[in-house]
C-alpha cells in the first residue's frame, strides 16, 4: 500500500498539507517550495514530531503484526533517534532561533515519554489498528491532479467504528479544542479512507491525538464523513486549482508564520527581495531569476499558460 514519498518541487497531486499551506498559509511560500523546489527546511518542532510519529508507528505496527510492543525505554530511544536524524534538516538560520538537532531529539524523547504515560495511549490500546502510514491516492476530478496522502493510523475504535487517528505534537493543546479549525485535514483524510473498499458503506470518523511539550495531552474528536464534508472538500480543491491555473500566488505577510523565526525564505522574500515576485514569476515560462545555485529552468511549470480552470466534475 505504501509508495515512495514525493519530494519538493514535484507537484503531482493535492494533499492535506498542500491544500492547507496554499489556502490557509502563504501561497507564495507554497509555490517556492512545491513549484520552485526550494527547501523550506525543518525545525526542532517538526523534527520532534517526526520522532514521536516514528515511535508510535513502530508501536502500532507491532500490534498489527501480533508482536510484543516495544517497552517504554526502547520507544523513547527510538523517538529520540528519529528526532535527532530529522533535526539534521534544520537550516542554520532557523537553528539560530530555535535550536538544532539535539533539541529535536530531546523534545521527541519527552513527547514519547508523555505519550507513553498518557490516557491517550490507553485509549489507543482499546482500539484495533489496521494500518499505519497507509498511502491513498484517488481521482476526485477526472481532469485534475489526484488527491493523495499518508495517514498516521487507520483502524477501529473500541466500538468497532472505522476511525482515522492523526497524532499531533504541539507546544500546548489549545489549538486542538475545536475540530472546525481542522476541517480541511479531516475532509481529505476521511475522503481518502472512505474510498477504501474495506470501509465501503460504513461511517468513518476522525480523531486527533494531541501530545504537547508542556506535558498535556488531549483527544479531539472530529467529524464523521458526510456529503457536506465532501462538498466542502470539492470547494477547497476548486479554490486551490483556480489559484494554480491562474498562477496567482501571493505573499501573505499577515500570516502568523511569516517571520524570520518560521519562514526559511524570509530574508530572500521580505528583505533582499531575491525570492519575491520582482524576481520570480510562476506564471511565465521561465522565472526572472532564482537564488545562486539554481537555474531559472528549475522552476517547474505544471500547467500551460492558457490552461483554464475546469468545471467541477467530482467522480462521486
Residues in a beta bridge with 205: 163, 224
Nearest distance in Å: CB 262, ligand SF4: 8
Per-residue string for binding with ligand SF4, 152-171, x by CB under 6 A?
--------------------
Nearest distance in Å: CB 259, ligand SF4: 8
Nearest distance in Å: CB 270, ligand SF4: 5
For ligand SF4, give the closer residue by CB, 45 or 144: 45
- Interface pick for ligand SF4 out of 28, 116, 191, 249 (rule CB under 6 A): 28
- Interface pick for ligand SF4 out of 266, 280, 282, 287 (rule CB under 6 A): 266
Identify the sign of the CA torsion 257, 260, 264, 266.
positive
**Whole-number Å distance between alpha carbons of 140 and 11:** 16
| DSSP state string for 258-287 | -STTT-TTHIIIIIS-TTSTTT--TTSSS-
Does 94 sit near ligand SF4 (CB under 6 A)?
Answer: no
Total residues interacting with ligand SF4, rule: CB under 6 A:
13
Q: Is residue 309 classed as helix, strand or coil in its secondary structure?
A: coil
What are the C-alpha distances in Å from 2 to residues 112, 136, 165? 24, 8, 17
Nearest distance in Å: CB 285, ligand SF4: 22
What are the C-alpha distances in Å from 243 to residues 61, 135, 238, 281? 39, 26, 9, 14
- Tell me which residue has cell 489507543: 124
- Interface pick for ligand SF4 out of 52, 103, 243, 263 (rule CB under 6 A): 263
Per-residue string for binding with ligand SF4, 243-262, x by CB under 6 A?
--------xxx-x--x----
Stretch that binds ligand SF4, among 26-34, 70-78, 118-126, 299-307 (CB under 6 A): 26-34
Rounded to an integer, what is the distance from CA 209 to the centroid of its chain?
15
**Whole-number Å distance between alpha carbons of 87 and 46:** 8
Residues that bind ligand SF4 (CB under 6 A): 26, 28-29, 251-253, 255, 258, 263, 265-266, 269-270
Amino acid at each position: 500500500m505504501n509508495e515512495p514519498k514525493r519530494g519538493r518541487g514535484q507537484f503531482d497531486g493535492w494533499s492535506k498539507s498542500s491544500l492547507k499551506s496554499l489556502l490557509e498559509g502563504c501561497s507564495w511560500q507554497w509555490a517556492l517550495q512545491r513549484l520552485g523546489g526550494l527547501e523550506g527546511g525543518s525545525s526542532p518542532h517538526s523534527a520532534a514530531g517526526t520522532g514521536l510519529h516514528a515511535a508510535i508507528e513502530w508501536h502500532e505496527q507491532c500490534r498489527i503484526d501480533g508482536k510484543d510492543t516495544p517497552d517504554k525505554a526502547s520507544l523513547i530511544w527510538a523517538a529520540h533517534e528519529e528526532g535527532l536524524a530529522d533535526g539534521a534538516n534544520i537550516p542554520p538560520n532557523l537553528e539560530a532561533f530555535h535550536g538544532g538537532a539535539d533539541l529535536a531529539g530531546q523534545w521527541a524523547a519527552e513527547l514519547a515519554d508523555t505519550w507513553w504515560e498518557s490516557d491517550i495511549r490507553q485509549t489507543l490500546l482499546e482500539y484495533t489498528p489496521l494500518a499505519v502510514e497507509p498511502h491513498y491516492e484517488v481521482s476526485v476530478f477526472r481532469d485534475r491532479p489526484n488527491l493523495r496522502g499518508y495517514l498516521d493510523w487507520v483502524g477501529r475504535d473500541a466500538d468497532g467504528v472505522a476511525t482515522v487517528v492523526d497524532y499531533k505534537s504541539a507546544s500546548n493543546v489549545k489549538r486542538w479544542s475545536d475540530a472546525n479549525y481542522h476541517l480541511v485535514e479531516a475532509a481529505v483524510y476521511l475522503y481518502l479512507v472512505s474510498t477504501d473498499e474495506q470501509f465501503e458503506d460504513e461511517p468513518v470518523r476522525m480523531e486527533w491525538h494531541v501530545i504537547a511539550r508542556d506535558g498535556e495531552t488531549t483527544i479531539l474528536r472530529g467529524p464523521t464523513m458526510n456529503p457536506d464534508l465532501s462538498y466542502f472538500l470539492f470547494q477547497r480543491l476548486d479554490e486551490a486549482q483556480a489559484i494554480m491555473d491562474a498562477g496567482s500566488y501571493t505573499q501573505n505577510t499577515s500570516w502568523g508564520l511569516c517571520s524570520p523565526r518560521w519562514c526559511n525564505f524570509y530574508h530572500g522574500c521580505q528583505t533582499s527581495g531575491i525570492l519575491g515576485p520582482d524576481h520570480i514569476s510562476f506564471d511565465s515560462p521561465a522565472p526572472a531569476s532564482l537564488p545562486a545555485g539554481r537555474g531559472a529552468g528549475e522552476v517547474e511549470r505544471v500547467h500551460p499558460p492558457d490552461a483554464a480552470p475546469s468545471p467541477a466534475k467530482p467522480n462521486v
